[in-house]
């Protein structure tokens, strides 16, 4: 029974060792095999496992027979420790192998990308070579065309230069003629300017005198207007006094009539001499008052006629002054317009002379 138990323990140890060894041997290769290679490899692995298991069983049985179970157990423990150590090493190795596999995959992808890029670069290179060939052909054609164009441009430029030279000669002759004309015009303008300045100076002088005369006329007109207003006011006053005198004359006539009607009454109380004396006195006073009123009326009529004549004369003088003022304004505007035209012609002649 003990021998069978030892054999069972040995079989378990052998199975564990076999699994550890299998797990250590099952590291994925760098390049994955094909299906046929995988089947052959699996069959070879099974045969090796069976052979290794048979050898291990025979060795364990031999050890049990020679050394005993305790020695086998101690060997198993030591082997288990070794196997665990190997397992940890195998795990670390698996991690390293996985990392290496990932690196290999990345490198394979990078190599694939590089190959694709190289293929694309070769294609682009071919396209560029063809383009360079076409460009060289086009450049050669363009060089020929440019040479022909250059010759045509040279001929055109030579013709244009000759035309420009001939035109320059003509323009030079025209410029000389224009310069001579400008000199003549400058002298003429200087003469006209001098005559204009003299005329303008005399015009300014006469204009100032006319302004003084017009101002004097306006001042005199204002004074006459004031005197006319005063005379009209005085005439109105005399007219009112005349009206009052006429009204007084009417009143006196009424009194005379009343005195005549009542003369019979006065005759009873007064003598005829007294009545005649009083009547003569009143008649003399009335006649004197009437004579005074008539003289005042005559004087008022004379003043009115005089004022009307003076007003008419001043109005005529004002109309003449206004006409003179209008003529002076028109003459001033015409002189200013002529001055501007002369200045403009002088500037144009100076510009022509400078450009020539």
Does residue 238 lie within any of the structural domains? yes
Mean pLDDT along residues 304-329: 76
Same domain, 198 and 338: yes
Which residues are within 8 A (CB) of 293 and not within 5 positions of it... i.e. 6 or more apart?
Answer: 242, 245, 246, 248, 249
DSSP state letters, 237-282: HHHHHHHHHHHHHHHHHHHHHHHHHTHHHHHHHS-HHHHHHHHHHH
Higher model confidence: residue 302 or residue 203?
A: 302
Does residue 281 lie within any of the structural domains? yes
Does residue 56 lie within any of the structural domains? yes
Does residue 292 lie within any of the structural domains? yes
Does residue 149 lie within any of the structural domains? no
- Nearest Cα to 354, choosing from 168, 186, 187? 186
| pLDDT above 90 coverage of the chain, percent | 1
Same domain, 209 and 335: yes
pLDDT in tens, 237-260: 777 777 776 776 677 677 667 766
Q: How many separate domains does the chain show?
A: 2
CA geometry: angle 11, 16, 22, nearest 5 deg: 120
Does the pLDDT of residue 184 top 50, yes or no? yes
Find tokens 């003084």 and name the residue: 212
Same domain, 207 and 102: no
Last residue within a domain, chosen from 85, 106, 127: 106
Q: Is 0.85 topped by the overall pTM?
A: no
- Nearest Cα to 256, choosing from 277, 281, 279, 288? 279
- How distant is the alpha carbon of residue 5 from its chain centre? 109
Q: Kindly report the average pLDDT of the chain as a whole number.
A: 74
Same domain, 101 and 210: no
Whether residue 57 contacts residue 14, with contact meaning beta carbons closer than 8 Å, is answered with yes
Lowest mean pLDDT across 128-132, 168-172, 331-335 = 331-335
Same domain, 198 and 98: no
Higher model confidence: residue 35 or residue 13?
A: 35
For 33, which DSSP code?
-
SS3 271: coil
| The predicted structure's pLDDT at residue 356 | 56
Same domain, 208 and 347: yes
Whether residue 79 contacts residue 17, with contact meaning beta carbons closer than 8 Å, is answered with yes
Mean pLDDT along residues 198-224: 72
| The predicted structure's pLDDT at residue 11 | 52
Does residue 34 lie within any of the structural domains? yes
| The predicted structure's pLDDT at residue 286 | 66
Q: For the chain, what is the total number of helices (H) and then of strands (E)?
A: 5, 0
Give residue 310's domain range.
191-355
pLDDT in tens, 126-154: 998 898 888 888 888 888 888 888 888 88
Last residue within a domain, chosen from 60, 81, 106: 106
pLDDT in tens, 18-52: 454 444 444 344 444 455 566 677 777 888 878 87
- Nearest Cα to 76, choosing from 2, 4, 14, 25? 14
Does residue 50 lie within any of the structural domains? yes
- Nearest Cα to 100, choosing from 26, 24, 28, 33? 28
| The predicted structure's pLDDT at residue 34 | 56
Any idea what the CATH number is for the domain that residue 211 is in? 1.10.287
pLDDT in tens, 62-72: 777 777 777 77
Same domain, 223 and 348: yes
In angstroms, the CA 53 to CA 12 distance is 11
Last residue within a domain, chosen from 106, 127, 156: 106
Does residue 153 lie within any of the structural domains? no
- Nearest Cα to 284, choosing from 256, 265, 257? 256
Same domain, 100 and 204: no
| The predicted structure's pLDDT at residue 174 | 81
Same domain, 200 and 326: yes
């Amino acid at each position: 029974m003990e021998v069978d138990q030892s054999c069972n323990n040995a079989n378990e140890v052998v199975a564990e060792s076999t699994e550890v060894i299998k797990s250590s041997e099952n590291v994925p290769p760098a390049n994955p095999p094909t299906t046929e290679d995988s089947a052959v490899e699996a069959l070879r692995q099974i045969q090796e496992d069976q052979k290794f298991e048979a050898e291990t069983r025979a060795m364990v049985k031999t050890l049990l027979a020679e050394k005993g179970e305790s020695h086998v157990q101690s060997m198993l423990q030591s082997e288990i420790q070794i196997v665990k150590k190997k397992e940890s090493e195998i795990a670390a190795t698996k991690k390293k192998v996985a990392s290496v596999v990932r690196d290999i995959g990345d490198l394979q992808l990078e190599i694939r990308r590089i190959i694709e890029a190289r293929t694309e670069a070769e294609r682009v290179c071919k396209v560029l070579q063809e383009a360079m060939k076409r460009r060289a052909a086009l450049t050669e054609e363009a060089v020929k065309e440019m040479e022909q164009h250059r010759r045509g441009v040279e001929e055109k430029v030579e013709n244009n230069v000759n035309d420009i030279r001939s035109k320059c000669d003509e323009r030079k002759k025209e410029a000389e003629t224009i310069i001579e004309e400008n000199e003549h015009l400058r002298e003429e303008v200087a003469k006209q300017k001098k005559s204009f300045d003299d005329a303008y100076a005399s015009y300014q002088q006469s204009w100032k005198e006319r302004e003084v005369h017009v101002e004097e006329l306006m001042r005199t007109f204002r004074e006459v207007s004031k005197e006319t207003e005063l005379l009209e006011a005085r005439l109105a006053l005399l007219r009112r006094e005349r009206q009052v005198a006429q009204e007084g004359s009417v009143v006196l006539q009424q009194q005379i009539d009343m005195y005549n009607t009542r003369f019979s009454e006065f005759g009873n109380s007064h003598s005829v001499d007294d009545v005649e004396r009083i009547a003569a006195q009143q008649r003399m006073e009335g006649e004197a008052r009437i004579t005074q009123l008539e003289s005042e009326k005559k004087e008022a009529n004379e003043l009115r006629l005089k004022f009307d004549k003076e007003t008419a004369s001043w109005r005529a003088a004002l109309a003449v002054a206004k006409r003179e003022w209008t003529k002076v304004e028109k003459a001033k505007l015409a002189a200013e317009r002529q001055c501007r035209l002369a200045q403009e012609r002088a500037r144009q002649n100076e510009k022509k002379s400078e450009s020539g």
